[in-house]
Amino acid sequence: MAFLEITVPPLPHYIASGLNSIPQDGQHPSRSNIQVFDLLITKSGCFYIGEEDARFEVNVGQAVILRPDRYHFATKACSELTYTYWLHFHVGGEWELIKPVSGAAVSLEDPASAHMPTETFVVEPFKMRIPQFTTLLHPEKMYELFDQLHQLQANAHISSVRFAQQQLFQEMLHQLAASAETDHASASRACAEKAASYLRQHYREAVTAKQLGDELNFHPVYIARCMQKEYGCSPITYLLRLRIGQAKLLLLQTELPIAHIAQEVGLEQAAYFAASFTKFEGMSPRTYRQQFSHRL
């Protein structure tokens, strides 16, 4: 299964939607480079469409997302009257279409990726992953959302209504993502999320790769591969980032000695804490605290 992976923020943006009918022996129109994503959901009947080397037979309760930069073409005529919901949306940030393949094992450590820009509070992007083609878990819910969008369209010139449409669209994306949760491809995400949850609960403790593997009942190399895929770093680096983030809060909000803060976030050796903090933030813990000190 291919996935559309969107980096958030910014959130994908709803543009327009509607309901189309394709007569018996008719075809979905062929189009090229329409510059927006096209979400298509079959309400009744079935239609056939292709994108590059992919071919989709979209039956009732199934959804397909077509890319904005490719040629889309009908591969077969409809054998019956077919109704399809359509929705155009825009992605303002980074995105890619991913076709999962089994990758090589990654290292448990990746110090090269440890450095992050110096900011008081870092807004860390996350990945929104939705299937390009899927059978909806709750198709009737999706139909209802489309109908609500249609009802709002007459007043779409009002800002509050546009905001309501965006909220409905976000719920659609949630429904699409949920439809793929039982797919094998989500196993990697589930493993990574479990590992991240464990690290967040135990960041004050000394956590080893073996301990993490024992707790999750997965091989440490597999956990590392999953976290690299989902979060872009190894468990070791994820844990260190978490500890440094917590240390920044304590430096900003308390007057605790730096050595005490190091212990609070699970780094017993003050020298190692200072070196790690400097590597991530480009300045020492002391300098970081001083930049927020009150000046008369």
10-residue block means of pLDDT along the chain (296 residues)? Answer: 89 95 94 95 96 94 96 96 97 87 42 46 78 93 94 93 96 89 66 93 94 94 92 92 93 93 93 94 92 67
**Does residue 8 sit in the same domain as residue 59?**
yes
Residue 35 belongs to a domain: yes
* pLDDT recorded at residue 203: 94
Indicate whether 163 belongs to any domain: yes
One domain for residues 51 and 28? yes
Strands 95-98 and 46-51: unpaired
Among residues 179, 209, 243, the one where a domain terminates is 179
Residue 295: per-residue pLDDT: 56
- Give the model's pLDDT for residue 292: 81
- What's the pLDDT at 296? 44
* Residue-level pLDDT at 102: 44
What CATH number has the domain bearing residue 250?
Answer: 1.10.10.60
- In this structure, is residue 30 part of a structural domain? yes
Query: Which of 179, 196, 214 is where one domain is finished?
Result: 179
Residues 93 and 221 in one domain: no
Check whether residue 173 and residue 210 sit in a common domain.
no
The verdict on 245 and 141 lying in the same domain is no
Does residue 10 sit in the same domain as residue 145? yes
118 is a domain residue? no
Angle at CA of residue 66, ends 62 and 71, nearest 5°? 135
Is 198 found in the same domain as 172?
Answer: no
Domains in the chain: how many in total?
2
| Domain extent for 55 | 3-98+127-179
- 182-192: pLDDT as tens digits: 544 568 888 99
- What are the structure tokens assigned to 151, written together? 């009802």
CATH of the domain at 74: 2.60.120.280
Same domain as 43, residue 156:
yes
